[in-house]
Amino acid sequence: MALDVSDLLLWYDEHLLVINKPAGLLTLPDGYDPSLPHVRQVLEPHFGRLWIVHRLDKETSGVLALARNAPAHRALNTQFEQGAARKIYHALVCGPVEWEGKTVDLPLRPNGDRQHRTVVDHQKGKPAVTHLRVLERFTMLVLLEAAPETGRTHQIRVHLAKQGLPILADQLYGGQPGMTFVGIDIGAEPVIHNAPELDHLALHAHSLTIQHPMTAEKLTVSAPYPTDLAEVIKWLRKNAA
Protein backbone atom coordinates (compact mmCIF):
# COMPACT_ATOMS: atom_id res chain seq x y z
CA MET A 1 0.00 0.00 0.00
CA ALA A 2 1.68 3.19 -1.22
CA LEU A 3 0.74 6.05 1.11
CA ASP A 4 1.69 9.71 1.24
CA VAL A 5 1.89 10.42 4.96
CA SER A 6 1.06 14.10 4.46
CA ASP A 7 -2.30 13.06 3.00
CA LEU A 8 -3.18 11.21 6.21
CA LEU A 9 -2.54 14.02 8.69
CA LEU A 10 -5.51 15.80 10.24
CA TRP A 11 -3.95 17.36 13.37
CA TYR A 12 -0.73 17.02 15.34
CA ASP A 13 1.56 18.58 17.93
CA GLU A 14 4.35 17.25 20.14
CA HIS A 15 1.92 15.14 22.20
CA LEU A 16 -0.79 13.99 19.83
CA LEU A 17 -1.19 12.83 16.23
CA VAL A 18 -4.57 12.44 14.51
CA ILE A 19 -4.84 10.85 11.07
CA ASN A 20 -7.46 9.90 8.50
CA LYS A 21 -6.80 6.16 8.32
CA PRO A 22 -7.47 4.72 4.89
CA ALA A 23 -9.56 1.58 4.50
CA GLY A 24 -7.27 -1.43 4.12
CA LEU A 25 -4.59 -0.23 6.55
CA LEU A 26 -4.31 -2.19 9.80
CA THR A 27 -4.29 -0.30 13.09
CA LEU A 28 -2.13 -2.99 14.74
CA PRO A 29 0.25 -5.59 13.25
CA ASP A 30 -1.44 -8.69 11.87
CA GLY A 31 -0.91 -11.69 14.15
CA TYR A 32 -0.63 -14.09 11.21
CA ASP A 33 1.30 -11.90 8.77
CA PRO A 34 3.43 -9.24 10.55
CA SER A 35 4.68 -8.00 7.17
CA LEU A 36 1.32 -6.40 6.34
CA PRO A 37 1.40 -2.58 6.59
CA HIS A 38 0.01 -1.08 9.79
CA VAL A 39 -0.38 2.42 11.19
CA ARG A 40 2.78 2.61 13.31
CA GLN A 41 4.88 1.08 10.55
CA VAL A 42 3.73 3.80 8.16
CA LEU A 43 3.99 6.75 10.55
CA GLU A 44 6.90 6.08 12.91
CA PRO A 45 9.65 6.70 10.30
CA HIS A 46 8.31 10.27 10.10
CA PHE A 47 7.21 10.98 13.69
CA GLY A 48 9.19 8.66 15.93
CA ARG A 49 7.64 6.28 18.44
CA LEU A 50 3.86 6.31 18.60
CA TRP A 51 1.34 4.73 20.98
CA ILE A 52 -1.97 3.30 19.76
CA VAL A 53 -4.86 4.71 21.80
CA HIS A 54 -7.90 3.15 20.10
CA ARG A 55 -8.53 0.96 17.07
CA LEU A 56 -10.38 0.99 13.79
CA ASP A 57 -11.10 -2.19 11.83
CA LYS A 58 -8.85 -2.72 8.84
CA GLU A 59 -11.64 -1.89 6.36
CA THR A 60 -12.93 1.10 8.34
CA SER A 61 -11.63 4.51 7.33
CA GLY A 62 -11.47 7.73 9.28
CA VAL A 63 -10.26 9.52 12.40
CA LEU A 64 -7.62 7.71 14.44
CA ALA A 65 -5.68 9.30 17.33
CA LEU A 66 -2.19 8.28 18.42
CA ALA A 67 -0.12 9.45 21.38
CA ARG A 68 3.44 10.73 20.83
CA ASN A 69 4.68 10.09 24.37
CA ALA A 70 3.84 7.94 27.37
CA PRO A 71 2.10 10.63 29.49
CA ALA A 72 -0.18 11.51 26.56
CA HIS A 73 -0.88 7.82 26.07
CA ARG A 74 -1.94 7.40 29.69
CA ALA A 75 -4.19 10.47 29.60
CA LEU A 76 -5.88 9.44 26.36
CA ASN A 77 -6.32 5.85 27.51
CA THR A 78 -8.17 7.13 30.57
CA GLN A 79 -10.55 9.16 28.39
CA PHE A 80 -11.37 6.19 26.17
CA GLU A 81 -11.72 3.78 29.10
CA GLN A 82 -14.09 6.16 30.91
CA GLY A 83 -16.15 6.87 27.80
CA ALA A 84 -15.14 10.54 27.73
CA ALA A 85 -14.04 10.41 24.09
CA ARG A 86 -16.94 10.99 21.68
CA LYS A 87 -16.76 9.06 18.42
CA ILE A 88 -19.09 9.66 15.48
CA TYR A 89 -19.24 7.21 12.56
CA HIS A 90 -21.07 7.37 9.25
CA ALA A 91 -22.35 4.11 7.77
CA LEU A 92 -24.08 3.38 4.47
CA VAL A 93 -26.49 0.55 5.24
CA CYS A 94 -28.69 -1.83 3.24
CA GLY A 95 -32.42 -1.70 3.77
CA PRO A 96 -35.11 0.87 4.50
CA VAL A 97 -35.18 2.67 7.86
CA GLU A 98 -38.56 3.66 9.30
CA TRP A 99 -37.25 5.73 12.22
CA GLU A 100 -35.26 8.97 12.47
CA GLY A 101 -33.25 7.98 15.53
CA LYS A 102 -32.78 4.90 17.66
CA THR A 103 -30.61 3.57 20.50
CA VAL A 104 -29.40 -0.03 20.32
CA ASP A 105 -28.52 -1.61 23.66
CA LEU A 106 -27.34 -5.18 23.12
CA PRO A 107 -24.50 -6.93 25.04
CA LEU A 108 -21.72 -8.26 22.84
CA ARG A 109 -19.20 -11.09 23.05
CA PRO A 110 -16.26 -11.18 20.59
CA ASN A 111 -15.14 -14.30 18.76
CA GLY A 112 -18.49 -15.89 19.43
CA ASP A 113 -18.92 -18.25 16.48
CA ARG A 114 -16.97 -20.32 13.96
CA GLN A 115 -16.43 -17.24 11.79
CA HIS A 116 -14.86 -15.43 14.76
CA ARG A 117 -17.61 -12.83 14.69
CA THR A 118 -18.83 -10.73 17.58
CA VAL A 119 -22.25 -11.98 18.71
CA VAL A 120 -25.08 -10.71 20.88
CA ASP A 121 -24.93 -12.63 24.17
CA HIS A 122 -27.32 -11.63 26.96
CA GLN A 123 -25.61 -13.91 29.48
CA LYS A 124 -21.88 -13.49 28.82
CA GLY A 125 -21.70 -10.38 26.65
CA LYS A 126 -20.38 -7.00 27.81
CA PRO A 127 -22.68 -3.94 27.74
CA ALA A 128 -22.72 -2.14 24.37
CA VAL A 129 -24.78 0.90 23.42
CA THR A 130 -24.93 2.66 20.05
CA HIS A 131 -27.01 5.73 19.21
CA LEU A 132 -28.22 5.88 15.59
CA ARG A 133 -29.57 8.79 13.53
CA VAL A 134 -30.65 9.01 9.88
CA LEU A 135 -28.59 11.42 7.79
CA GLU A 136 -29.87 10.68 4.25
CA ARG A 137 -32.20 8.18 2.62
CA PHE A 138 -31.70 6.67 -0.82
CA THR A 139 -33.44 3.83 -2.67
CA MET A 140 -32.93 0.86 -0.31
CA LEU A 141 -29.78 2.43 1.12
CA VAL A 142 -29.51 4.80 4.07
CA LEU A 143 -26.65 6.94 5.36
CA LEU A 144 -26.64 6.74 9.16
CA GLU A 145 -24.75 8.41 11.95
CA ALA A 146 -23.63 5.98 14.66
CA ALA A 147 -22.39 7.23 18.03
CA PRO A 148 -21.15 4.37 20.22
CA GLU A 149 -21.10 4.85 23.99
CA THR A 150 -18.88 1.78 24.34
CA GLY A 151 -16.05 0.43 22.21
CA ARG A 152 -16.67 -3.27 21.73
CA THR A 153 -15.14 -5.17 18.82
CA HIS A 154 -17.28 -4.72 15.68
CA GLN A 155 -19.92 -3.01 17.84
CA ILE A 156 -21.49 -0.81 15.16
CA ARG A 157 -21.40 -3.55 12.55
CA VAL A 158 -23.19 -6.05 14.82
CA HIS A 159 -25.71 -3.59 16.22
CA LEU A 160 -26.70 -2.49 12.71
CA ALA A 161 -26.88 -6.05 11.39
CA LYS A 162 -29.19 -6.97 14.28
CA GLN A 163 -31.53 -4.19 13.16
CA GLY A 164 -31.66 -5.74 9.70
CA LEU A 165 -29.37 -2.98 8.43
CA PRO A 166 -25.99 -4.51 7.54
CA ILE A 167 -23.35 -2.07 6.36
CA LEU A 168 -22.79 -2.04 2.62
CA ALA A 169 -19.97 -4.42 1.61
CA ASP A 170 -19.78 -5.96 5.09
CA GLN A 171 -19.62 -9.58 4.02
CA LEU A 172 -18.89 -10.77 7.56
CA TYR A 173 -22.17 -9.42 8.93
CA GLY A 174 -24.46 -9.74 5.94
CA GLY A 175 -23.83 -6.69 3.76
CA GLN A 176 -23.99 -6.90 -0.02
CA PRO A 177 -21.00 -9.05 -1.08
CA GLY A 178 -17.96 -7.83 -2.97
CA MET A 179 -19.53 -4.50 -3.73
CA THR A 180 -18.94 -3.92 -7.37
CA PHE A 181 -21.77 -1.43 -7.19
CA VAL A 182 -22.88 -1.85 -10.81
CA GLY A 183 -25.47 -4.60 -11.01
CA ILE A 184 -25.77 -5.26 -7.28
CA ASP A 185 -29.39 -5.87 -6.38
CA ILE A 186 -30.18 -3.49 -3.50
CA GLY A 187 -33.92 -3.55 -3.98
CA ALA A 188 -36.53 -4.73 -6.42
CA GLU A 189 -34.33 -3.75 -9.35
CA PRO A 190 -30.55 -4.02 -9.79
CA VAL A 191 -28.48 -0.87 -10.01
CA ILE A 192 -27.20 -0.57 -13.58
CA HIS A 193 -26.48 3.12 -14.09
CA ASN A 194 -22.68 2.98 -14.25
CA ALA A 195 -22.38 3.42 -10.51
CA PRO A 196 -18.93 3.81 -8.94
CA GLU A 197 -17.30 0.83 -7.26
CA LEU A 198 -16.80 0.35 -3.54
CA ASP A 199 -14.79 -2.70 -2.56
CA HIS A 200 -14.51 -2.11 1.19
CA LEU A 201 -16.73 -1.64 4.22
CA ALA A 202 -18.90 1.51 3.96
CA LEU A 203 -18.09 2.58 7.52
CA HIS A 204 -16.19 5.80 8.22
CA ALA A 205 -15.03 7.25 11.54
CA HIS A 206 -16.22 10.77 10.78
CA SER A 207 -15.18 12.68 13.91
CA LEU A 208 -13.53 12.34 17.30
CA THR A 209 -13.89 14.69 20.27
CA ILE A 210 -11.38 14.42 23.10
CA GLN A 211 -9.61 16.58 25.65
CA HIS A 212 -6.05 17.36 24.66
CA PRO A 213 -3.95 15.00 26.83
CA MET A 214 -1.73 17.80 28.18
CA THR A 215 -3.78 21.02 28.04
CA ALA A 216 -7.26 19.48 28.63
CA GLU A 217 -8.56 21.72 25.83
CA LYS A 218 -11.56 20.27 23.98
CA LEU A 219 -10.52 19.08 20.54
CA THR A 220 -12.80 17.86 17.74
CA VAL A 221 -11.22 16.47 14.57
CA SER A 222 -13.20 15.40 11.50
CA ALA A 223 -12.10 13.34 8.50
CA PRO A 224 -13.43 13.59 4.94
CA TYR A 225 -14.82 10.45 3.32
CA PRO A 226 -12.39 8.37 1.24
CA THR A 227 -12.72 9.20 -2.44
CA ASP A 228 -14.54 6.00 -3.41
CA LEU A 229 -17.15 6.29 -0.66
CA ALA A 230 -17.66 9.96 -1.47
CA GLU A 231 -18.24 9.04 -5.13
CA VAL A 232 -20.80 6.39 -4.20
CA ILE A 233 -22.72 8.85 -2.02
CA LYS A 234 -22.57 11.49 -4.77
CA TRP A 235 -23.92 8.93 -7.26
CA LEU A 236 -26.70 7.90 -4.89
CA ARG A 237 -27.78 11.53 -4.43
CA LYS A 238 -28.10 11.87 -8.17
CA ASN A 239 -29.55 8.48 -9.13
CA ALA A 240 -31.15 6.80 -6.13
CA ALA A 241 -32.79 9.52 -4.05
Active-site positions read 57
Q: In the beta sheet, which residues pair with residue 94?
A: 141
Task: Please state the φ and ψ torsions of residue 78, each to the nearest 5 degrees.
Answer: -60, -45
Helical segments of 31-117, H only? 39-47, 70-81
Question: Residue 126 to residues 111, 112, 149, 163: CA-CA distances in angstroms?
Answer: 13, 12, 12, 19
For the chain, count helices (H), then strands (E): 5, 12
Residue 139 burial (C-beta neighbours within 10 Å; 0-12, 13-18, 19+): middle
β-bridge pairing 119-120 and 129-137: unpaired
47: how many CB neighbours lie within 10 A of its CB? 14
